[in-house]
Amino acid sequence: MFCYQCQETAKNEGCTVRGVCGKDADVANLQDLLVFVLKGISVYAEKAKAEGVDLSDKTAPFIMEGLFATITNANFDAERFEDLIEEAFALRDEVKAEFEKAYKENHGEEFSGDLPEHATWYSDDVSDYYDKGTDVGVLETEDVDVRSLRELATYGLKGIAAYGDHARVLGKHKEEIDRFTQKCLAATTDDSMSVDDLVGLVMETGEMAVETMALLDEANTSTYGHPEPTDVNIGVRDNPGILISGHDLKDMEELLEQTEGTGVDVYTHSEMLPANSYPAFKKYDHFVGNYGNSWWHQDKEFESFNGPILMTTNCITPVKDSYKDRIFTTGMAGYPEVTHIPDRKEGESKDFSELIEMAKTCDSPVQLEEGTIPGGYARNTVMSVADKVIEAVENGDIGRFVVMGGCDGRFKSREYFTDVAKELPEDAVILTAGCAKYRYNKLDLGDIGGIPRVLDAGQCNDSYSLAYIALQLKEAMGVDDINDLPISYDIAWYEQKAVAVLLALLSLGVKGIRLGPTLPAFVSENVLNVLVDKFDIKPTGDVKEDVAAIMAGE
């Protein structure tokens, strides 16, 4: 195996024996093979498009789900990847047949052109999957800069796929995004593309990330309402409970509906915290609040919760025996020997009855904390008081906004973000989204004229709010360049959705982003130089020096 798609990759170089995330070499290789075949589907789909046949409505839903399954900490189940690869082969055959039919109709002869191996390799022997997976990963691209740009586009696309899949679950999709999904994957197989071409592809990936995050924002807010300022309870009650983690709001909705009146409470964990701020969920009296912290604490927090846990998406870590019999996965999440809740059938809800019945037999959660934390400061809330915000900037009460969105992680180096939050002067306001907020959202940082100094826009899925706020402030304050706003970016990254967010910010022209706690291992020296020259990307450094530079707009 070779994997370096996450921030915690071994030695900041790459995992070669076992992933730091916990996945073994077999799963890593199967993930590589799945992506390999998804690229083959995309090659045929792009060729069909050139013949006047658009198959993106057929290819995109499966490609997005497949890419989503390969995101860090989403799925560790080898059998599930075997099934996905078989499904991918079947879809590739369908797309191939439609392309060949269109080609013959248009040209009067069979297609006989060259194809990459992504479009031709096949085996009906599952054992071959494991062997082939060792040959088709990241290192199949020999040129380090071409490899870097291909992987940067692919990881950004994985983030887009995750956001796009969430939107599709809520009935929203865009043909533009679907078409780009297959175009981007197919392009990574094209050896004729120059480095400049690939840089253009990476930037287009960022543009499409903005479109996809905007689509997901529309899907969430049109379904559940705009998040409202909310003091989220972090204590517990005496009833048995179910803990829901991950990101999927549709799963949240259906779980709340099915637990109503059962005597079972529902708590959020990690990235599901923002669900507490949606009006549609507040009507449920048995929706108690948030339990615990970010994803990497789950080994201890899942033990102490006592009741069943539902993992709806990525962010699952190696499951301990102490709670293996009461953790469930659903969607694209998966783990060996853990019960998986099947996808909903057309017009029906998922069936969470097994969790509910189990919960009734469990003790109530062990209390970890008490009190509340603020949430619900997404774009609608912030822009509703835009005049107040602008006035606070103009009169000097707010000296700087600092975007500290992104991911949390296990490494001690992430204490940097807590220390920055503490070190920032009292006229600095933190804008955040994603689980990075757990590094500082329980600090007592106060407010500025009633505006909390930590404005939590929600999940990493809600990062569009941060871009939207910046663009609206740019217009309201009458500045020509987004970089002239009193906003600095100090971003924590961990997995591929954060890569999509980074590329989105770059596509909007944001410069001077600090990125940490390390720069991505998949960015080669030459590619990094391009990003530094064009966008002034820089690593996080000494806390005091960084804060001084941030407040000076540097």
Question: What pLDDT is stored for residue 140 in this prediction?
Answer: 93
- By the 8 A CB rule, do 68 and 165 touch? yes
Query: Which three-class secondary structure state does DSSP give residue 487?
Result: strand
DSSP 122-137: --S-HHHHHHHHTTSS
Q: How far is CA 428 from CA 386, 393, 423, 477, 492, in A?
A: 16, 10, 10, 18, 18
Residue ranges with strand state E in 131-254: 230-233, 241-245
Residue 18: φ, ψ to 5°: -150, 140
Burial class of 8 by CB neighbour count within 10 A (0 to 12, 13 to 18, 19+): buried
Enumerate the β-bridge partners of residue 251. none
Single out the residue of 62, 23, 57, 14 nearest to residue 39, CA to CA. 62
Question: What pLDDT is stored for residue 66 in this prediction?
Answer: 98
Question: What pLDDT is stored for residue 379 in this prediction?
Answer: 94
Single out the residue of 504, 539, 464, 460 nearest to residue 294, CA to CA. 460
Question: What pLDDT is stored for residue 166 in this prediction?
Answer: 97
Judging by DSSP bridges, how do beta strands 372-375 and 447-448 pair with one another? unpaired
Question: What pLDDT is stored for residue 252 in this prediction?
Answer: 98
Question: What pLDDT is stored for residue 37 in this prediction?
Answer: 98
Question: What pLDDT is stored for residue 496 in this prediction?
Answer: 97
Question: What pLDDT is stored for residue 442 in this prediction?
Answer: 95
Question: What pLDDT is stored for residue 94 in this prediction?
Answer: 98
Burial class of 31 by CB neighbour count within 10 A (0 to 12, 13 to 18, 19+): buried
Residue ranges with strand state E in 382-510: 400-403, 428-432, 447-448, 451-452, 454-456, 487-492
Query: For residue range 233-275, what is the model confidence (pLDDT) as tens digits?
Result: 999 999 999 999 999 999 999 999 999 999 999 999 999 999 9
Question: What pLDDT is stored for residue 218 in this prediction?
Answer: 97
**What is the Cα–Cα distance from 493 to 175, expressed in whole angstroms?**
29
DSSP 376-397: ---HHHHHHTHHHHHHHHHTTS
Q: What is the pTM of this model?
A: 0.97
DSSP 8-state secondary structure symbol assigned to residue 308: -
Which segments in the chain show pLDDT lower than 70? Answer: none
Alpha carbons within 13 A on the beta-carbon side of 458: 32
Query: For residue range 34-93, what is the model confidence (pLDDT) as tens digits?
Result: 999 999 999 999 999 999 999 999 999 999 999 999 999 999 999 999 999 999 999 999
